[in-house]
Amino acid sequence: MKEKINQIINRYSADRNRLMDILLDIHEVQGYVDKDDIKLLAETLEISMAEINETVSFYHFFSDKPRAKYNVFLNKGITAQMSGRKAVKEAFENSCGVAFGQVSDDGMFGLNDTSCIGMNDQDPAALINDVVFTNLTAYRVEKLISGLREGKELNQVIYESYGDGHNADPDVQSMVYNHIRKGSILLNNDYQRFEVLQKELKKHSPQDVIQIIEDSNLRGRGGAGFPTGMKWRFGRLVEGEHRVIICNADEGEPGTFKDRVMLTEFPDLVFEGMVIAAYATGADLGLVYLRYEYKYLLKYLNKILAEMREQNLLGKNINGVKEFNFDIRIQLGAGAYVCGEESALIESLEGKRGEPRDKPPFPVEKGYKEYPTIVNNVETLASAVRILKNGAEWYSSFGTKDSTGTKLLSISGDCKFPGIYEVEWGTSITEVLEMCGADEVQAIQVGGPSGMLIGPHDFDNLTSSELMKWHKPSGMMVAEKFFDRKLSYSDLPTGGSMIIFNNERELLRDVVMNFMDFFIEESCGSCSTCRNLPFIMKKKLEKILNGHGVRQDIDDLLSWGKTLKVSRCGLGQTAGNPILTSILNFRHLYEQHVQAMADYDNLFDITKSVEAANKFVGRKTEFHQSN
């Protein structure tokens, strides 16, 4: 193995910044990276073993221990739970003869839970050694595991034919379906591949391109909504030996899968957007950070980049423009939600653990390897191409004044037609619910767990008598008015994830608890607020749900949620949102559980608590009665 590892290291010119690739390749060959490998890597790359250990231990898909021949990673997100995950999990355990978190005695199967894998429209879903299995049932699990036991390959136990569109491409061959339900200006077959690069770009100076993007009022589609043209203008102004364009394809927000579909059906549009961004900003290096869960697309995406090189749309003097040199490399992640944050993503691109940086400096000043770096989302880059083709005015005719253009929504949960919908900004929640066939809606999680849980007073999905009934148990808050909320930066901003919950769902016990678990697991652990408060808040919620809560507990949750906002990055700042927004819009559910009128915890039994603590630490306490 030593020789193979040396070959892998040489493949990346022993570059410390390529540590992610080196580790991914070692996993490909051996399945894990052990202490001896880490020692060898440290010596050759001239970094400490601690630094390599930091990276190996940070990512879900790395391991420092031998793994099974087949490693199952079953999504444990809320949409999987809503779609029958429990039965699927049991079927895996029964068929493989091992519990989750362990490897079977024969070394054949390892079972693991994992956070959202971007298949919420076809859950329960799992990755088995990078191959995606969707719409799992107990029956299908039994069949596929028995097939593997018989010696079949993973691609021979796929129980459905390949999915639609390019999912069936020879370089993809995946059973994933796109589920494109509604297209508009991005998801549109009138797209002429690379037409803008070949015909339009030469007509404009880089400054013109920036001006057009500014005039269109395009804002970043990852969620933060920073004006794209302004980001490009700053990027062009900062001095640097090199400039970098990064395409953030690390969508990890539970409920989000739009980038998966864009990269499957319109990767050329996204890459074309990167080249336009490079032209505008003067960048010479392009990096796509692709989430590990979408590794099944890697070969196909690289094929398209190769075609672009052949057509001189990447490389030197692109399309005959003198000294316009730019190329794109795809970097796989290894499973860490926080890497969706741009500075954490850059750390990961440099081969480190994905820990967000302090800002300033912002990436646009000092990013990848300290070069000025512009990080854009998949959808943002694709939008830029359409704007260059049709003009800023055309683009602004879609959407609203402050939110121009369209938004891709990933819709999942309780509706008849989960999938991707491209809607104009300004579309109301009621319209969205009609489009996707959702009835008896109790709540919608807009923007994933870091977003907002909205209730019936935010959309016109219930009759007023139903709404009165809905609010009655609280005895406190009766909405007199519906607010037919609209998707826009000024009303309901969103990165695109929408999960719908019908009236049968247990919002606090199932949904909010699941989201809190997600944040607890995904915190990088650097800030004490983000490391501790989500866990403590979850415990407090458990206490309330177990009937031991008092009103003060609700106030504590609100106060701790505010404290979380001082955390360093968006993950920590929003980690309390599942609880905060459910208190805001579903306070009656909390009120139902807390003891009526109690301001203090009169069910607290100190004797029992001391006994439990003693048992835990192996100590005995004598209770003395005073006379």
Q: Which residues make up the interface to ligand SF4 (CB under 6 A)?
A: 338, 356, 523-527, 530-531, 567-569, 571-572
- Position closest to ligand SF4 via CB: 572
**Contact residues for 358 (Cβ-Cβ < 8 A; gap 6+):** 568
For the four alpha carbons of 391, 397, 398 and 402, in that order, the dihedral sign comes to positive
Q: Which is nearer to ligand SF4, 349 or 571 (CB)?
A: 571
Which of 366, 423, 399, 161 lies closest to 244, judged by CA? 366
Q: Which is nearer to ligand SF4, 58 or 590 (CB)?
A: 58
3-class secondary-structure state, position 181: strand
Q: How far is the CB of 536 from ligand SF4 (least distance, A)?
A: 14
CA–CA distance, 500 with 227 (Å, rounded to integer) = 29
Q: How far is the CB of 231 from ligand SF4 (least distance, A)?
A: 21
Q: How far is the CB of 256 from ligand SF4 (least distance, A)?
A: 18
Q: Give one DSSP letter per residue of 329-345, joined into a string.
A: EEEE--S-GGGGSHHHH
Q: Which is nearer to ligand SF4, 107 or 525 (CB)?
A: 525
Q: Which is nearer to ligand SF4, 338 or 452 (CB)?
A: 338
Q: How far is the CB of 416 from ligand SF4 (least distance, A)?
A: 36
Q: How far is the CB of 354 from ligand SF4 (least distance, A)?
A: 9
Q: How far is the CB of 57 from ligand SF4 (least distance, A)?
A: 15
What are the CA-CA distances from residue 177 to residues 174, 189, 429, 510 (Å)?
A: 8, 18, 25, 27
Q: How far is the CB of 338 from ligand SF4 (least distance, A)?
A: 5
Q: Which is nearer to ligand SF4, 274 or 527 (CB)?
A: 527
CA–CA distance, 408 with 422 (Å, rounded to integer) = 4
What are the CA-CA distances from residue 20 to residues 36, 54, 132, 561, 575 (Å)?
A: 18, 12, 22, 34, 27
Tokens of residue 223, six digits: 């969620």
Q: Are 405 and 460 in contact (CB under 8 A)?
A: no
Q: Which is nearer to ligand SF4, 412 or 567 (CB)?
A: 567
Omega before 361 within 30 of 0, i.e. cis: yes
Alpha helix ranges (H) inside 225-290: 228-237, 258-265, 267-281
Q: Which is nearer to ligand SF4, 540 or 568 (CB)?
A: 568
Run of H or E residues at 549: none
Run of H or E residues at 23: helix 19-30
Q: Which is nearer to ligand SF4, 377 or 523 (CB)?
A: 523
Q: How far is the CB of 336 from ligand SF4 (least distance, A)?
A: 10
Which of 297, 330, 284, 355 lies closest to 168, judged by CA? 297
Q: How far is the CB of 561 from ligand SF4 (least distance, A)?
A: 14
Q: Which is nearer to ligand SF4, 229 or 572 (CB)?
A: 572
Q: Which is nearer to ligand SF4, 357 or 366 (CB)?
A: 357
CA–CA distance, 337 with 223 (Å, rounded to integer) = 14
**Contact residues for 485 (Cβ-Cβ < 8 A; gap 6+):** 428, 429, 454, 458, 459, 491, 492
Q: How far is the CB of 334 from ligand SF4 (least distance, A)?
A: 16
